Structure 1
Amino acid sequence: MSRVLACIDGSQASRGICDGAAWASQRLNAPLLLLHILERKQHLDGNLSGSIGIGSREHLLAQLVALDEKHNRLALEQGCQILETARQRAQACGAVSVENRQRHGNLLQTINELQEQSLMLVLGKQGEDSEAMGQPIGSQLEPIIRASSRPLLITPPLFKAPRQAMIAFDGSETLCRNLGKPALPDLLRGLPVHLVLVGNASTELKKRLEWACALLLERGLEAKAVICPGEVEQTLLAYQTENRLDLVVMGAYGRSWIRHFLVGSITTNMLQHFETPLLLLR
């Protein structure tokens, strides 16, 4: 089954994730799966050796076990509440159909298992831990993006349905390949699309830009191509702000180390500095 997979954790970002996932579900006419992961954490040190007597040690171990069981029950109940609240919100926002799923384990491993049945993934820019520590992006976000084989919609805490979109065009195979797939045009249908190429464009790159614009027009989208001089991140941010574009589409981290240095840092910088949703293509 092709679906939209959204990962929530109860942080402030969950609201934006639900709204963004519901928007994608509507656009793609695909069911929505809300996923909440219970990752096991080390709470207390179970090593009670040393000067503690045998009887006291056994008593404390029993208490630790009881506390751990209580914590797991509470975490499970809290997760169910988070999912149910998210389900109701996604349905109210117009998601096609919504299923909840809660699993124990590792977030990255679970996403790798589920992404093959998914059209795209939706994640928040921050999670519970990064939000509490004041970090601009979550610690697990970049590994998930790098490991994903599906497009990812990265949402801010407050998501609004996009009215205009910008495609940060770099002429890469990843971007051009995704332009030819049905999912991207379906997401962008009805939105004015700005194809923006930054820097000194070669003749070949200009031809690719013209081809991409013609392809989107052929698919019924309102599109225009623009070439802007300057540094990539600053120019894209300035163009997006000036034209009030509320969705940014771009290729994500490359798999090779060369492309990582050329493109990876741009992806990270845009994740950190852009306040609009980012659609990252793989």
Structure 2
Amino acid sequence: MTHVIACIDDSQAAVAVCDYAIWSSQRMDATLKFLHVLDHQQYPAPVDLSGNIGLGSREHLLEALAELDEVRGKLGREHGQHLLDAAKQRARDAGIEKPHCCQRHGDLTESVKELEDKTRLLIMGRQGESSENAASHVGSHIENVVRTLSRPILVTPRQFVNPERFLIAYDGSATSRKCVEMIANSPLLKGLECHLLMASQKTEEVIEHLGWAEKQLHSAGFQVASNIMPGDVEDTILDYCSKQNMHLLAMGAYGHSRIRQLLVGSTTTSILARATIPLLLLR
């Protein structure tokens, strides 16, 4: 069984993450699971000091610090459970009969990686607890998770808007072709107003690429509004989303190596930082 898995924390985006997860679960007819991870840096695991002998007065201090960490960890687990309980109740109120909850201690990226085989769609807030005060800052875990996980990831803003129209940012690459195929074969966006955009000069090759994507989407039942627009890729995509009032942006994620992105930058990372609507990233 595969799940829609929603990563929740104590950030302002948590409610929107819950609502997009509920929406996705209902659209895909998939089991919904809420995941809360206690970060091992913020809430370290209990420390065994039984081997520390001969430290004199410092031994008492180490024991006191270990006890403090244990108390903080307990409070963190209890608070996380309250968050999970609230998310579960919100899902039940929306009509989901049996939402599941999971709490883990450790690294978020490692935790979602362990659940990858059971994940159909992962949903995360664009900004978590540690970065939500930075308006254009992407949460510290987002890029690592997107690079690590091979499952679709929906990155949400702080407010939920019921999606009615979406844009596919398409460039004809293998990554973006896979993106189109995944959307065509999934019930997630079926029935919504579909827009397809290539940020490029109009050439025969570009028109051919666009025609292939249109055909795939039409065959899956989508009515598609297609456009080819020259200009900077990121600016063109985001301007289109703003002017056409898009409710969701879908695109392939990280189609090049880390070394190339280090040298020339990453469109995925830049759009993650600048987008104000949900971003569906497909590997």
TM-score (norm 1): 0.89
The whole-number CA distance in structure 2 between the counterparts of 1:67 and 1:198 is 54
Aligned residues: 276
The whole-number CA distance in structure 1 between the counterparts of 2:147 and 2:58 is 45
More deviation, 176-185/68-77: 176-185
The whole-number CA distance in structure 2 between the counterparts of 1:111 and 1:92 is 26
The whole-number CA distance in structure 1 between the counterparts of 2:134 and 2:274 is 17
Which amino acid in 1 is paired with 2:31?
A: P
Aligned to 1:88: 89
Identity fraction in percent: 42
The whole-number CA distance in structure 1 between the counterparts of 2:107 and 2:197 is 37
Q: Describe the shift of the 1:140–1:148 C-alpha distance in structure 2 as closer, same or farther (beyond 3 A).
A: same
Aligned to 1:186: 187
Aligned to 1:50: none
Contact 1:179 1:212 in 2 (8 A): yes
CA-CA distance at 1:91 after TM superposition: 2.8
Kindly indicate whether residue 279 of structure 2 is the aligned counterpart of residue 278 of structure 1. yes
The whole-number CA distance in structure 1 between the counterparts of 2:26 and 2:13 is 20
Q: CA RMSD in A?
A: 2.6
Contact 2:31 2:99 in 1 (8 A): yes
Which amino acid in 2 is paired with 1:142?
A: E
TM-score (norm 2): 0.89
The whole-number CA distance in structure 2 between the counterparts of 1:71 and 1:176 is 47
Kindly indicate which of the two structures has a greater share of residues assigned to helix. Answer: 1
Aligned to 1:100: 101
Q: Which consecutive unaligned segments of at least 5 residues does structure 2 have?
A: 50-54
Aligned to 1:242: 243
Query: Structure 2 matches for 1:58-207, cutoff 5 A?
Result: 58-95=59-96, 97-132=98-133, 136-181=137-182, 185-207=186-208
CA-CA distance at 1:184 after TM superposition: 5.5
Report Cα offsets for 1:58-98 as digits up to 9, x if no partner.
43333223222211111110110011111112333344641
CA-CA distance at 1:135 after TM superposition: 5.8
The whole-number CA distance in structure 1 between the counterparts of 2:90 and 2:117 is 26
Aligned to 2:25: 25
CA-CA distance at 1:20 after TM superposition: 0.9
Aligned to 1:266: 267
* Matched residue SS, 1:250: strand
* Matched residue SS, 1:188: coil
Contact 1:199 1:227 in 2 (8 A): yes
* Matched residue SS, 2:172: coil
